[in-house]
């Protein structure tokens, strides 16, 4: 193959992805390179370019975050072909671009593109609150081109969904102020836990063995959770998506009957963790669990999708939100094993006290 021709294939899809994320195509279309601290990635990039276009690689020490190298190629003909294939030229944070249609509409090409994309910009981490893993994708964009950036992210999400891999909504966060004065935003989304095993089977983190080893553990956990969920008591399956949106709790402005009932539920059937990050109840009564979930949603805007099966008859309804935990503590929820009295806002209000005592026989 020569630099005068271009064949749309799996290797070209990988090459486009390399240059879109960790690489660069010169604005004047005279050169292109991949920057990485991992020589496995650099050699894979070199292999594709040499195989497709017969160019000679030039290695040099890279710049940026940490120690890295660049695998650089010089060819205006190839650079123009790559631009025609859909690689953005110049500073990618400052130019609009989308996933090329020839990649997006082809399953094999999509898989190759996504695998490299997650190798470059994907992350995997273990939850500190649950036995689960989060596969996420982060990308920065100039705030003036944020809508374009979100459209590009939605291309990726749509491609993942074509493989049955479900994702969270996109979270937008402030990123940084560049030296050139441009402010950037960080666009983040995650793969839903239930889809981790499918992500591991279909996409993976390209050639990143470290991330892929963790992903194997995540896939096993996801499979176990799917089986466990078959035995769960479901309150609202649709509410699962909100677990990945990092929805902020809305704290109530007033103390009322429902909140008095919430205190009673927690005191009699559950508790508040010492670090204030989680609160829960355990019960065999689905009516009680539903009422607990109703109050949490009504008063704090936090959906509770399900309760985990703890034994033959009982379920644990578990909520993780440090903001609510702190709110409970600030409004008089007693420490574990303490003999603190019922908060005055309950004991001094007849309606609140009546609701509280209808659930627990706590003595004043």
| Cα within 13 Å of Cα(279), Cβ side | 29
Query: Could you tell me if residue 100 is inside a domain?
Result: no
State the average pLDDT over residues 14-20: 98
Determine, yes or no, domain membership for 206. Answer: yes
- Residue 104 maps to a domain: no
> Which of 90, 112, 139 is where one domain is finished?
90
Is residue 1 packed enough to be buried (19+ CB in 10 Å), middle (13-18) or exposed (0-12)?
exposed
Q: Please report whether residue 364 resides in a domain.
A: no
Whole-angstrom distance, CA of residue 156 vs CA of residue 68:
27
**What distance in Å separates the CA atoms of residue 114 and residue 206, rounded to the nearest whole number?**
8
* pLDDT for residue 211 is more than 90: yes
Do residues 295 and 281 make contact, with C-beta atoms less than 8 angstroms apart? no
CATH number at residue 166: 3.30.200
**Domain CATH number, residue 305:** 3.10.28.10
Residues 286-301 have a mean pLDDT of: 93
**146 phi/psi in degrees, rounded to 5:** -60, -40
Edge-to-edge strands, sheet with 133-142: 122-126, 133-142, 183-191, 171-177
Would you say 321 and 300 are in contact if contact means Cβ atoms under 8 Å apart?
yes
**Alpha helices (H) along the chain:** 10-21, 39-53, 76-85, 101-104, 107-121, 146-161, 196-202, 209-229, 257-269, 286-300, 322-330, 344-347, 350-357
- On whether both 3 and 53 belong to a single domain, the answer is yes
Strands ordered across the beta sheet of 58-61: 23-25, 31-36, 69-74, 58-61
Same domain, yes or no: 274 and 215: no
State the pLDDT confidence band at 328, using cuts at 50, 70 and 90: very high
Of the given ranges (30-44, 143-157, 178-192), which has the lowest mean pLDDT? 178-192
- The domain boundary, picked from 229, 251, 269, lies at 229
| 167 and 251 co-located in one domain | no
Q: Answer positive or negative: Cα dihedral of 5, 11, 16, 22.
A: negative
For residue 179, the model assigns a pLDDT of: 76
- On whether residue 105 sits in a domain, the answer given is no
User: Residue 203's pLDDT is what?
Assistant: 97
**Cα radius of gyration rounded to whole Å, the chain:** 26
Structurally, the chain folds into a number of domains equal to 3
Cα 16–Cα 91–Cα 10 angle in degrees, nearest 5: 5
Domain boundaries, position 165: 120-229
Residues 120-147: b if buried by 16+ CB within 10 A, e if exposed: bbbebeeeeeeeebbbbbebbbbeebee
**Does residue 154 share a domain with residue 68?**
no
Which tens digits make up the pLDDT trace of 37-94? 999 999 999 999 999 999 999 999 866 556 789 999 999 999 999 999 999 999 998 9
Residue 200 belongs to a domain: yes
By CB neighbour count within 10 A (0-12 exposed, 13-18 middle, 19+ buried), where does 279 fall?
Answer: buried
């Amino acid at each position: 193959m020569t630099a005068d021709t271009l064949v749309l294939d799996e290797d070209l899809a990988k090459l486009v992805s390399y240059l879109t994320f960790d690489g660069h195509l010169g604005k004047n279309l005279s050169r292109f390179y991949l920057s990485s601290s991992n020589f496995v990635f650099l050699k894979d990039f070199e292999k594709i370019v040499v195989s497709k276009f017969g160019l000679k690689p030039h290695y040099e020490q890279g710049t940026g975050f940490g120690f890295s190298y660049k695998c650089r190629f010089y060819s205006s003909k190839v650079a123009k072909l790559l631009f025609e294939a859909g690689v953005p030229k110049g500073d990618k944070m400052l130019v609009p671009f989308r996933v090329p249609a020839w990649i997006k509409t082809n399953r094999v090409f999509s898989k190759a593109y996504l695998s490299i994309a997650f190798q470059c910009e994907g992350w995997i981490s273990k939850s500190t609150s649950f036995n689960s893993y989060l596969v996420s994708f982060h990308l920065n964009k100039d705030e003036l081109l944020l809508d374009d950036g979100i459209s590009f992210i939605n291309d990726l999400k749509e491609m993942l969904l074509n493989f049955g891999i479900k994702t969270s909504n996109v979270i937008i966060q402030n990123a940084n102020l560049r030296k050139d004065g441009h402010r950037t935003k960080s666009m983040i989304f995650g793969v839903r836990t239930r889809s981790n095993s499918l992500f591991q089977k279909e996409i993976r983190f390209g050639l990143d063995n470290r991330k892929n080893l963790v992903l194997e553990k995540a896939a096993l956990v996801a499979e176990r959770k799917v089986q466990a969920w078959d035995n769960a008591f479901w309150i609202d399956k649709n509410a699962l998506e909100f677990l990945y949106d990092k929805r902020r709790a809305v704290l109530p402005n007033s103390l009322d009957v429902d909140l008095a009932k919430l205190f009673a539920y927690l005191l009699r059937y559950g508790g508040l963790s010492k670090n204030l990050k989680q609160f829960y109840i355990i019960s065999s009564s689905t009516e009680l669990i539903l009422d607990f979930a109703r109050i949490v949603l009504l008063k704090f805007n936090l959906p509770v999708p399900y309760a985990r099966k703890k034994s033959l008859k009982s379920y644990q309804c578990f909520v993780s939100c440090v903001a609510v935990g702190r709110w409970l503590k600030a409004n008089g929820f007693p420490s574990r094993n303490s003999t603190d009295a019922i908060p005055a806002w309950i004991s001094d209000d007849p309606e609140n006290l009546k609701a509280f005592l209808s659930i627990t026989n706590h003595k004043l």
